Amino acid sequence: MHGALLIAGATSDAGKSTVTAGLCRLLARRGVRVAPFKAQNMSNNSVATVERDGTSGEIGRAQATQALACGLAPSTRFNPVLLKPGGDRRSQLVLHGRAVGDVGARDYVERRRWLLDEVTAGLRRLRDEFDVVLCEGAGSPAEINLRATDIANMGLAEAADLPVIVVGDIDRGGVLAHLAGTVAVLAPEDQRRVYGYLINRFRGDPSILEPGLAQLERLTGRPTLGVLPYLRDLWLDAEDSLAALGTDLVGRGASRPDALQVAAIALPRVSNTTDVEALACEPGLTVRWTIRPADVAAADLVILPGTKATVADLAWLRRTGLADALVARAAAGRPLVGICGGYQMLGRGIADPHGAEAPAGTRIDGLGVLDLDVEFAADKCVRNVTGTGFGAPASGYEIHHGTVVRTAEQPFLAGPDGPEGAARGATYGTHWHGLFGADEFRRAFLARTFPGFAPGPEISYDGARLAQLDTVADALEEHCDLDALMNPLRSPGVFSPILPSLRIVAY
């Protein structure tokens, strides 16, 4: 088995990331040297990497999860282009793990040829190193208005000569039309690369679906290679914050009557939503996203998470009344944790000398809960970190421009460079993402913050992530024609006929 294939989606959130991660896990369990690849990702959920030369970078969370499935450490090689939206029309461009500036849609179009060369060169290097490279598409390949500038879907498939499967989400309805229509609107040279479909999130009796799948194959000349069941327990490592916030409940929620209630503020430009997932793994905690001041007042613990737009989201907190609720909570001595941008908001003020989020030289008042000042630096800090807190080992990663330039607070943690974060009463702040994923620290924090509360059986956050990856791999093994799915990796070439017409007529 050798080569690469592209896993595309008929729609956004069709399950491309999950299917790619599951296939990575399945092949790795069989001893195949496999690696993930996403040429271009758009997400504010990112992870710090440690590269072979000791430098750090950042990639999308989904590719870090897929690397875990392969038994690999996260690397910028797996996600060379990352777009981090800071507003509706502009995003920070991260290339090979490093921020290189902000771009709008038109700016990005102008860079397309250069970026395509960068990603195809990176893919070639991975293909030389690994037996199989599983490439995840972005959005949908049927966005034909973007085809001329595409570097992640059919543009990548053309440049790297990749076979393509298309994943469709049956749970949202219309999946047969989504799959047939996706292929139908593609140009003939792109159509020939699509060799089959996967249907995701199916509930019910598969026999009822079979006539539709047979007709789909007659109409398009391509088989459905598997129908994956709806896997109810998949919720960790959601790449897209919109998917993570699609319901206010994080994970399955605790059934214990004495469960602690955790409220996480759903900021408009929230980043690294996965920071609260480790808390949701604890059987004694119920974690919910919220935008209601009443929930801030009622919860046992409140998390003010990171954001890609600290200044804009701070203004949003004030408009919604959440700022007043957070200040009142801190004044009452009730547990509150600010992470990265959320930590910066809790301080006295934020200076922006370089115009990162506001006119150059602007100073924005913070919530004043913590006696510290923040300044946006020109360069981004990206690194993995280890230390201690509450007498337990702690670890995480930093991805931020804001730097604490003055503090009168006690530290929250002991980090690699000395004191980290701030602690005043029951209010805490840190730049460390992923902190609650450190099992010993999480349990120590809960025990100290809520005396007498027993977290329950010890939970391994990384173990829970691997268990979910194994669940997807098991489903793929049981419900897919793996020989047909992997055939292009055994028999390279043209994998399916060109549709005779872009007009599909059923009768």
Q: pLDDT per residue over 134-182, tens digit each?
A: 999 998 999 988 898 899 999 999 999 999 999 999 998 899 999 999 9
pLDDT of residue 505: 44
Q: What is the dihedral of CA 420, 401, 436, 70, to 10 degrees?
A: -130
pLDDT of 503 strictly over 60: no
In three-state secondary structure terms, 163 is coil
Q: How large is the average pLDDT for residues 5-23?
A: 94
Determine the Cα–Cα distance for residues 314 and 297; give it in Å rounded to an integer. 18
Query: Within a 10 A sphere around the Cβ of 320, how many other Cβ atoms?
Result: 15
**Token code pair at residue 404:** 């604490």
What are the structural domains of the chain? 3-234+467-489 (3.40.50.300), 259-452 (3.40.50.880)
pLDDT band at 214 (very low <50, low <70, confident <90, very high): very high
pLDDT of 479 strictly over 50: yes
- Reported in sequence order, the residue ranges of 239-391 that DSSP labels E, i.e. its strands, are 249-250, 260-265, 270-271, 285-290, 301-304, 306-307, 336-339, 349-352, 362-365, 372-389
pLDDT of residue 84: 87
In three-state secondary structure terms, 22 is helix
- Reported in sequence order, the residue ranges of 72-131 that DSSP labels E, i.e. its strands, are 81-85, 90-95, 98-104
Q: How large is the average pLDDT for residues 237-242?
A: 52
Q: How large is the average pLDDT for residues 408-415?
A: 97
pLDDT band at 412 (very low <50, low <70, confident <90, very high): very high
pLDDT of 377 strictly over 80: yes
- Whole-prediction pTM value? 0.89
Q: How large is the average pLDDT for residues 280-308?
A: 94
Percent of the chain with pLDDT over 90: 72
Q: Among 234-243, 310-319, 437-446, where is mean pLDDT lowest?
A: 234-243
pLDDT of residue 101: 80
- The residues assigned a catalytic role are 340, 433
Give yes or no for a contact between 371 and 408, defined as CB atoms under 8 angstroms apart: yes
Percent of the chain with pLDDT over 70: 92
Q: How large is the average pLDDT for residues 61-77?
A: 95
pLDDT digits over 80-130, tens only?
999 888 766 778 889 998 988 878 766 666 777 789 999 999 999 999 999
pLDDT of residue 241: 42
pLDDT of 64 strictly over 60: yes
* Strands of the 249-250 sheet, one edge to the other: 249-250, 285-290, 260-265, 301-304, 336-339, 427-430, 422-424
In three-state secondary structure terms, 413 is strand
Average pLDDT, the chain: 90
pLDDT band at 43 (very low <50, low <70, confident <90, very high): confident
pLDDT of 498 strictly over 70: no
Determine the Cα–Cα distance for residues 465 and 502; give it in Å rounded to an integer. 42
Determine the Cα–Cα distance for residues 375 and 402; give it in Å rounded to an integer. 5
Q: How large is the average pLDDT for residues 273-281?
A: 89
DSSP 405: E
* Higher-scoring residue by pLDDT: 410, 44: 410
